[in-house]
């Protein structure tokens, strides 16, 4: 087998650490309880029921940060943004901009490949009522920092929802980035420029509503709106949006 490059090796190390994490007893209990008592439509499936590492292109220039895996989405399938409506809405936006090879995300065996982007989340386990506790977010925060450090080519961060946005602002600041005179405030479609110290490295932060079923059904967020966010993200990252550039 061909040796992995250093970035792939580092991401594999981080993934292994995340998957074995048991720092949050409440989340461990919940993810396992969900797996033991699935709804009828998933009763024949074996749930992943472990924390989720990030997923995507090791050479990514776009980092997408969400809230947490869904109880019957990523917690079931074992892959970030996979197996629920939010994942499909997100991946359709990626596909529309040449960042994914197919317009859906349903299982580990669906053939999905990402090019130029990497998907992750502020929390790695599905939380009860989709509401994480502060200490649980703190326990996961270091994993997000490690992923950003490993993904050296990131030029754009897309934050899905207010919590992911606030986490992204904190993460960039902790890595030595500043946003000049702008005080970042979450609002769909807003873009902020962050610059890192003497090296002058620039990372753009884009805010969007989360592609949850609730947001899409109420049309707070439409597919077109999300497609536009990723069109802008691709442009800022210097990615030509068509065609898909994966292997």
pLDDT tens for residues 76-97? Answer: 999 999 999 999 999 999 999 9
Residue-wise pLDDT for 121-142, tens only, equals 999 999 999 999 999 999 999 9
pTM score above 0.85: yes
State whether residue 63 is helix, strand or coil. Answer: strand
**Across the chain, what does the average pLDDT equal?**
94
Angle subtended at Cα 162 by Cα 158 and Cα 165, rounded to the nearest 5 degrees: 40
69 class by beta-carbon count within 10 Å (0-12 exposed, 13-18 middle, 19+ buried): buried
pLDDT of res. 198? 76
pLDDT of res. 1? 47
pLDDT of res. 245? 55
Statement: residue 147 has pLDDT above 80: yes
pLDDT of res. 183? 87
- C-alpha distance across the termini of the chain, in Å: 17
Alpha-carbon distances, residue 144 vs 24, 77, 83, 201, 206 (angstroms): 16, 21, 22, 19, 17
Question: How far is residue 237's CA from residue 33's CA, in Å, rounded to a whole number?
Answer: 41
Question: How far is residue 95's CA from residue 10's CA, in Å, rounded to a whole number?
Answer: 27
* Domains of the chain (ranges, CATH numbers): 6-37+48-186+202-237 (3.40.470.10)
Statement: residue 223 has pLDDT above 70: yes
pLDDT of res. 243? 57
State whether residue 194 is helix, strand or coil. Answer: strand
Sheet holding 201-208, edge to edge: 55-56, 117-121, 62-66, 156-160, 201-208, 191-196, 177-178
For residues 143-153, average pLDDT: 97
CA neighbor of 14 nearest in space, from 61, 46, 54: 54
- For the chain, list the strands marked E by DSSP: 55-56, 62-66, 117-121, 156-160, 177-178, 191-196, 201-208
Structure tokens at 85: 């409506």
State whether residue 45 is helix, strand or coil. Answer: coil
Residue 65 is given by DSSP the state E
Question: How far is residue 130's CA from residue 137's CA, in Å, rounded to a whole number?
Answer: 12
pLDDT band, residue 2 (cuts 50/70/90): low
Question: How far is residue 61's CA from residue 141's CA, in Å, rounded to a whole number?
Answer: 20
């Amino acid at each position: 087998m061909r040796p992995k490059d250093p970035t792939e090796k580092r991401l594999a190390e981080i993934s292994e650490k995340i998957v074995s994490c048991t720092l949050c007893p409440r989340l461990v209990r919940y993810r396992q309880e969900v797996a033991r008592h699935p709804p009828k439509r998933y009763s024949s499936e074996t749930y992943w029921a472990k924390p989720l590492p990030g997923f995507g292109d090791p050479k990514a220039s776009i980092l997408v940060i969400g809230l947490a895996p869904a109880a019957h989405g990523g917690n079931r399938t074992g892959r970030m943004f996979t197996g629920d409506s939010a994942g499909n809405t997100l991946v359709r936006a990626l596909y529309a901009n040449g960042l994914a090879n197919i317009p859906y995300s349903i299982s580990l065996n669906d053939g999905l490949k990402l090019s130029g982007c990497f998907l992750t989340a502020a929390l790695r386990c599905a939380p009860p009522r989709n509401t994480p506790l502060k200490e649980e977010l703190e326990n996961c925060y270091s994993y997000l920092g490690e992923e950003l450090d490993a993904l050296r080519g990131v030029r754009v961060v897309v934050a899905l929802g207010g919590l992911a946005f606030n986490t992204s602002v904190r993460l960039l600041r902790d890595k030595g980035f500043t946003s000049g005179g702008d005080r970042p405030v979450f609002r769909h479609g807003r873009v902020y420029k962050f610059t890192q110290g003497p090296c002058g490295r620039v990372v753009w932060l884009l805010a969007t509503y989360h592609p949850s079923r609730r947001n899409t059904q109420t049309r707070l967020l439409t597919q077109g709106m999300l497609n536009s966010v990723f069109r802008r993200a691709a442009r800022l990252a210097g990615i030509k949006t068509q065609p898909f550039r994966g292997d």
